[in-house]
Amino acid sequence: MEVRIPGDKSISQRALIFAALADGRSRLQGLLDGGDPASTAEALRMLGAEIPPLGADISVGGRGLRGLLPPSDALDLRNSGTGARLLLGVLAGQSFDAVVTGDDSLRRRPMGRITRPLTDMGARFQALGEEGRLPIRVSGGELSPLSYELPVASAQLKSALLLAGLVGGVAVELVEPGRSRDHTERLLAGLGVPVLSGGQGDRWGVALTEPPESLSPLDMIVPGDFSSAAFFILLGLLRSGTEPLILENVGLNPTRTGLLPTLERMGGRVEAEELREAGAGGEVSGTLVVAPSELQGCDVGGQEIPGLIDEVPILAVGAARARGRTRITGAGELRVKETDRIKAMVENLRAVGVEAEELEDGLEVEGTDRPLKGDVRSHHDHRIAMAFGVLGSLAGNEIRIDDLEVASVSFPGFWGQLARVSGTCQEPRP
């Protein structure tokens, strides 16, 4: 059985931002038409970029690196942490003031780790509510070069600083404690902008040493989102029978696919086929063939975590159906996502009958083959809702989820796909 995966959420938002900063018109194919890219697109429209309604093949008119226009109102990124944080970097190098805000969930998420190094570069920020949280007024202007050691391996922080260097025309040298996602570096390299990156002992360095005066338009195909594919990877491993599940056009960037070696260690059978490059972004995509497998619990942590941080919720669901105990550590970053994902996952696993323990930076899950039943609170977090949707679709389980619509943030049509593959259907609760 085949499943089509929607466009990558992280890459879609980056592609829109780079297209808005380019000189001329960019062609973007395969964009995710979901809540987060839509929020980022609307913010960029308010900054003067010509962006039509999102679709499978669109043309975007850019304003140039320093040609964005002052917005007439606050830029509301709703629930998009990627959009908000990356735009803080872009706005740091513009010659006007702008206010960035979001929904209740996004306003609870920390922004200080972004604004502190941008302040060192010369940007000014004014908290309009709680310090270190949105809404924030950004006063951009002339920036200075930056040499900075990131406190955590974070693609959003790294990308915001690289974008500030790009629009500000200044060098940026960064060191991460581990290697994070490299979509921004690949986009820059695909546009002819030299970016140096490589290991520095147990750390990872990235440098933008010669920012260009202008940016060429993009012609890019966005691959399917690996984080969205992860839900069907686990479904394919956990479902009964022998028929493999085939996931087409999945992005296989090695900084995103840390889940695959972990699942292999647990006994999962997943094969990657038909690998190909997806255009100017330098992204690799392919087809995944997933066979039903007997999973064994294991320890997950350390340098594995940056490459699978968004997949921890669905990995925990897989652990609930594995033999033995799975221990996940080093994932403290999950406490400041759309919700405290560690706490929410443990509470929900217990609510449906799984033994789980909350750790400071992760969780432990004891696998079981008992039927699982109960009510799940998604906390308006798309990954939690979809993870328990997969668990609820397995034979013998009866799990009700309070908010199904939140899945549209990253995977429009998820519940229909899940129903088609599993033969079960979640219905919204009144």
What distance in Å separates the CA atoms of residue 324 and residue 199, rounded to the nearest whole number? 35
Selection from 394, 402, 309, 382 nearest residue 354 by Cα: 394
Token representation of residue 273: 């086929």
Pick the CATH number of 2-221 from 1.10.490.10, 3.40.50.12160, 3.65.10.10, 3.40.50.10860: 3.65.10.10
What distance in Å separates the CA atoms of residue 345 and residue 149, rounded to the nearest whole number? 31
What distance in Å separates the CA atoms of residue 170 and residue 182, rounded to the nearest whole number? 20
What is residue 428's predicted lDDT score, i.e. its pLDDT? Answer: 42
**Residue for token pair 């255009």:** 279
**Residue for token pair 């010369």:** 122
- Contact between residue 384 and residue 341 where contact means Cβ atoms under 8 Å apart: yes
What is residue 430's predicted lDDT score, i.e. its pLDDT? Answer: 32
What is residue 278's predicted lDDT score, i.e. its pLDDT? Answer: 58
pTM of the complete model: 0.91
Give domain limits for the chain: 2-221, 226-422
What distance in Å separates the CA atoms of residue 228 and residue 360, rounded to the nearest whole number? 26
**The two domains 2-221 and 226-422 share their CATH topology (first three levels equal):** yes
| Torsion sign, CA atoms 168, 192, 80, 56 | positive
Beta-strand relationship, 362-366 and 2-4: unpaired
What is residue 426's predicted lDDT score, i.e. its pLDDT? Answer: 58
- Average pLDDT per 10 consecutive residues for the chain, totaling 430 residues: 93 97 96 94 98 95 97 96 97 97 93 96 96 96 97 94 98 95 94 93 94 95 96 96 92 94 97 78 91 97 90 97 97 86 97 97 97 96 96 95 92 94 63
Pick the CATH number of 226-422 from 3.40.50.720, 3.65.10.10, 3.30.300.350, 1.10.10.10: 3.65.10.10
Token representation of residue 128: 């309009």
What is residue 150's predicted lDDT score, i.e. its pLDDT? Answer: 96
Helix (H, G, I), strand (E, B) or coil at 340: coil
- The catalytic residues are 310
What is residue 23's predicted lDDT score, i.e. its pLDDT? Answer: 96
What is residue 337's predicted lDDT score, i.e. its pLDDT? Answer: 81
Cα–Cα distance list, 429 to 398, 413, 420 (Å): 14, 18, 20
- Contact between residue 321 and residue 287 where contact means Cβ atoms under 8 Å apart: no
